[in-house]
Amino acid sequence: MRIPHEFELLGDEIILYKDGEGLIVEPVKEPTHLLELLAMLEPIEDDFPDVDAGLPAPDDVRL
């Protein structure tokens, strides 16, 4: 995809996400640390499945 010159962003990396029917493109600030990246994300409202459902009970292990 070609970006018109007037819309070019600084840097070599972007964050791309969907907002309704549109796409949002944001430059990645340098340096990018994981906590900074996570802080920019919207909270997840979905319920996560119970991944332990249907598994047998864990064995009793004595160390």
pLDDT tens-digit readout, 17-41: 999 999 999 988 766 688 887 888 8
pLDDT over 70 percentage in the chain: 94
For residue 27, the 8-state DSSP code is E
Q: Which of 42, 37, 44 is nearest to 14 (CA)?
A: 37
Give the mean model confidence (pLDDT) for residues 40-54.
Answer: 88
Residue found under tokens 């964050």: 15
Q: Determine the pLDDT at residue 20.
A: 93
CB 26 within 8 A of CB 42: no
Q: Determine the Cα–Cα distance for residues 13 and 28; give it in Å rounded to an integer.
A: 6
Q: What is the pTM of this model?
A: 0.39
Report residue 61's pLDDT band, with 50, 70 and 90 as the boundaries: confident
